[in-house]
Amino acid sequence: MQKTDERTLREIERLFKQYEAELRTSDLSGRSKRNYREAAHYFVRWIRGDYNPGRGPWQ
């Protein structure tokens, strides 16, 4: 079940893309960039309602 309305979800997804772009240009190591991105990605998926923590990313 989606956690917010469509308008707010679109804004979150827009900001997530901006976050990804900033990560790509950051001085973080490749592994850190990947970890930061994955954690944020799962959070956005949770908001969308297509991820449930503790059940794995494959659901």
Kindly report the length of the chain.
59
Indicate the domain borders of the chain: 6-48
pLDDT digits (tens, 9 = 90+) for 2-45: 999 999 999 999 999 999 999 999 999 999 999 999 999 999 99
- Buried (b) or exposed (e) across 9-44, using 16+ Cβ within 10 A? beebeeebeeeeeeeeeeeeeeeebeebeeebeeeb
pTM: 0.85
